[in-house]
Amino acid sequence: MYLIRRWWGRHGLRIGLVFLALTTAWTVRQTQGAVVLEIYQWISRPFQGNPMPDEVLADARLQELQSRLVELESQNRRLQELLGYVSSNTEAGIAAPVIGRSADHWWQQITVGRGSQDGIEPGSVVLGTGGIVGRVIQVTPNTSRVLLISDPSSQVGVTVARSRSMGYLRGQSENRAIMEFFDKVPDVRPGDVITTSSFSQLFPAGLPVGRIESINLNKSPAPEAVIELTAPISYLEWVIIAPNSKSPEVVPTPLPSSSPGAAPVPTP
């Protein structure tokens, strides 16, 4: 009996540890570790800094405010660019946000958040960074509807800035338009800058419209050019509305004596 107690005293601890290890392994296998995981979580919970609900809400609110700040800074930068461009190209106007645009009429019209209470009138010129965007066709006290120059029904008298060759521009429901020349053989080339004509009754003369992308001198009944519009009509967010006292557009017909080879000019 003495020998058994002596042997147990020497090896009992080892046997107990082995038994505990085997029991733990069997338990983990049967429960797929769920019991051990619960024990670990119970032991470690006091040492984990779980955020309080108020802290979580405050953090989410902070992230939202930071996102809004980034967006406002971006809008402010674009507006400053627009104001800088307009101030160097025309008289001071009224900045207006684009608040409405139909997917079905994306290239035809926009609605802006300024109206008659701000001094906006039908016929006012609408500008964007790079050039003309369109003109106001309808106003309410707080909003205005703008006909874009990319609308197929829009026709604008234009001039080639380099050679002064004239024609009129019609929209194509995209960021390109077609210029039809009055002369049969106009002095034009790709890259020429197109501006509003001094004969235009819708826009002041000299406002940038676009650049010539390609030319078709064999087009009948008159030569044509594809014009890339310089205003970002596809993604307008802000515009400048400037007053314009001119009457509705009348595209002039060149005198026969001054343009013997002139093509017939349709009345817009």
pLDDT at 249 over 90: no
Question: Under the phi-then-psi rule, with left for phi > 0, alpha for psi from -120 to 50, and beta for the rest, what region is 123?
Answer: left
User: Quick one: tokens of 159?
Assistant: 């001039």
Question: Looking at residues 241-245, what average pLDDT do you find?
Answer: 78
**Cα 158 from Cα 106, distance rounded (Å):** 23
Per mean pLDDT, which range of 61-75, 90-104, 117-131, 228-242 is the poorest?
A: 61-75
pLDDT at 14 over 70: no
What are the E-state strand segments in 122-254? 125-128, 131-139, 144-148, 155-160, 166-171, 176-181, 193-196, 208-216, 224-229, 238-242
| Stated pTM of the model | 0.61
**Cα 241 from Cα 40, distance rounded (Å):** 68
> At 18, is the pLDDT very low, low, confident or very high (cuts 50, 70, 90)?
low
| Tens-digit pLDDT profile for residues 154-210 | 999 999 999 999 999 999 999 999 999 999 999 999 999 999 998 888 898 989 999
Query: Residue 194 in contact with residue 162, Cβ under 8 Å?
Result: no
pLDDT at 149 over 90: yes
For residue 200, the model assigns a pLDDT of: 85
pLDDT at 28 over 60: no
Question: Looking at residues 142-152, what average pLDDT do you find?
Answer: 96
Query: Residue 216 in contact with residue 62, Cβ under 8 Å?
Result: no
- How far, in Å, are 94, 123, 140, 203, 248 from residue 116 at the CA level? 12, 12, 6, 20, 19
Q: Report the number of secondary-structure helices (H) and strands (E) in the chain.
A: 3, 12
